[in-house]
Structure 1
């Protein structure tokens, strides 16, 4: 049985591999100052399943704080990879890195390094908050320059901005997100609460349905497509599970390990 093949179907698979590190294009409109529920040292590990088959893994990490052009910055890193049996015919090793201000109110820089089969591409988005513009580079060459809203996020940091907010049933929210080529306003809705059974225990969660109308690729081409994310119903608001329904099948990302942030020294 041939599950994946070169061309569009395999590209759709790669898109879903990257869901956990790049397709959370939503957060509440009004952000209020409160302690961040994440910090350096936090690590979330996921298994990626196509229907019932374990096809890949993904990891999200909060790296040590750093600087971008002299500006103090938060640093986030995500990876997605296929498992060994998939590597034999379509090896994926993708990395995404994101830098924001310390309060995670806007992006400063975003880099994606795609290595998928024989295809590879390195893209970078440089954010200029003062000028409200972004500059997108491919392999070092400037390809796109866009005017942006005052507060705009890249596809990965918006997930962490989302986690700053307190969720409740019936909540609706939206945000500005860009991939450097286009900017969109995503919308989402907190549907209900459920308790999920995971390898690290039972976790009460909010079920959040994301509007896929502004998503490109396989979502735009799939009638009845859906994207649902479960966030833990505690102060951490961990993305515990992602489920998507698209034309090529059902994909699920499930949390299998969680490492909390490194305790802050009292010194």
Structure 2
């Protein structure tokens, strides 16, 4: 479930993460205050002289939680550094003894995504890319850095999960206080909902909330997923800003 939230990406034309930027989270679940950790890092690259951005994620259980339920997922996403469109994504995970390994490659010339599942090849296939910008859930929420959403605002978004696309509505809620490594901050609560034909975790009654800081960085300082089996919460514990040159350029 947290993999759905933290697989990083970009909206077309807007960069959610910049070269050198990284975020780390501590995950709690029930009575386990340190059940897992999440890390997200971004690194600028070039291929044949073309700028690209590689975003890597690692989600894993730790300590007692790892002994009870071993989970580890790694993701690599590659984006066009010029227009911000996702070019390719690959994921590997292990949950107890269950493994997954899949890759998606986007061809905007043909408007298709080639999806390959190396563990369950029957799921492999070619899918049409929906119109507009396609991204993942956490990127939609991080993109509120530039959306300037106010309480009560609603904004549509199309997100990708595995070989499927979800049409969501991002709803802006109230401003709440959240503890962070640099002190208490004001954060807006955002809730992605699936209003038309819910599927996946949304069909099963799952709920997601993300707290976006209202300072100039607009960071996702807290993530929460509620399911019938319980609620998991991720708190931002460490943040590294982008390289100085990019910060100056963005200003």
TM-score (norm: length of structure 1): 0.78
The answer for the alignment partner of 2:232 in structure 1 is 251
- Please say if 1:145 is aligned against 2:131: no
Q: CA deviation at 1:179?
A: 3.0
The answer for the alignment partner of 1:118 in structure 2 is 97
Give the Cα separation in 2 of the matches to 1:95 and 1:215: 27
Q: 1:37 to 1:201 in 2, by over 3 A?
A: farther
Structure 1, unmatched stretches of 5+, are 1-14
Q: Tell me, what secondary structure is at the counterpart of 2:135?
A: coil
The answer for the alignment partner of 1:261 in structure 2 is 242
1:228 and 1:242 in contact (8 A); partners too: yes
The answer for the alignment partner of 2:157 in structure 1 is 175
How many residues are matched? 242
The answer for the alignment partner of 1:85 in structure 2 is 64
Structure 2, unmatched stretches of 5+, are none
The answer for the alignment partner of 1:21 in structure 2 is 6
Of 196-205 and 159-168, more deviation after overlay is shown by: 159-168
Q: CA deviation at 1:139?
A: 1.9
User: Once the two structures are superposed, what CA deviation does each residue of 1:219-243 show, in whole Å capped at 9, x if it has no partner?
Assistant: 4223xx4211111113322111112
Q: Of Structure 1 and Structure 2, which has the larger fraction of its residues in strand?
A: 2
Q: CA deviation at 1:75?
A: 1.4
TM-score (norm: length of structure 2): 0.83
Of 172-181 and 153-162, more deviation after overlay is shown by: 153-162
Describe how 1:144-223 pairs up with structure 2 within 5 A.
144-148=125-129, 149-154=131-136, 158=140, 161-212=143-194, 216-222=199-205
User: Once the two structures are superposed, what CA deviation does each residue of 1:45-75 show, in whole Å capped at 9, x if it has no partner?
Assistant: 10111124121110111123344x8753221
The answer for the alignment partner of 1:56 in structure 2 is 36
1:43 and 1:260 in contact (8 A); partners too: yes
Q: Tell me, what secondary structure is at the counterpart of 2:244?
A: coil
- Please say if 1:75 is aligned against 2:60: no
